Amino acid sequence: MLNSKSGSLFVRYIRLMIGLFICAVGQNLFLYCDLGMNPWNVFHQGLSVHLPITLGQASQSVGLIIIIVCMFFRIFPGIATILNMYFIGFFVDMLISLNIMSTPESLAGKLIMCVSGVVVLSFGMFMYMNQELGAGPRDGLMLALTQRTRFKVGFIRNAMEITVLIVGIILGGKFGAATVISSLLSGPTLQTVFKIFNKNPKELKQENLVDIYRKFKLKSS
């Protein structure tokens, strides 16, 4: 089920959308654990404090800006990049509106929800990246840095998240124990997920809009 480029293109997009939904579930686990948000959402929440937008809309806006910035560095989005930019924020707001999650009463329950958020988010990221239909805005930048440097994906992910965390705290995003746990565990957890499924992130070839255009042009000529 999880192998990239196996099955039809339609099936791969279904897997992609499932991965995006899983990512939104992971993000909401951080929200409802009430121990602080994960780094990116500290940043998103900080933006929502100062702007008339929801948490999901802040995620969408940041994703769009990253896509534009990456294009200046010749890191072009794929269709999945655009889907990621829109639908994770959409799913986050949808899950909040459905009110199907609640904050555990005990500290142990909150910590379990927090760690579950790390694992769920990492699995969702792996699932959609593995389809090679275009990485999400943040993950496209992460993969590009991984492929162009000597650093491992875990180190790159942690470096990015620490940076946005600092900015998010300054903006007023909710910081707490879960933020620290996420910052320390997200990179290694994602790296472990890749190892479990015997995948190397350096070998992933994410399809972008330029690739799609070239394929279309080649077929039509």
Q: What is the pLDDT of residues 42-80, one digit of tens each?
A: 999 999 999 999 999 999 999 999 898 888 777 788 889
**What pLDDT is attached to residue 57?**
94
**What pLDDT is attached to residue 218?**
79
CA distance 37 to 183: 10
Where does the chain have alpha helices with state H?
9-33, 39-50, 55-72, 79-98, 107-129, 137-148, 153-171, 177-196, 209-220
* Percent of the chain topping pLDDT 70: 96
* Whether the predicted pLDDT of 118 surpasses 60: yes
**Predicted TM-score (pTM) of this structure:** 0.83
* Whether the predicted pLDDT of 6 surpasses 60: no
Inter-residue contact 151 to 142 (CB < 8 Å): no
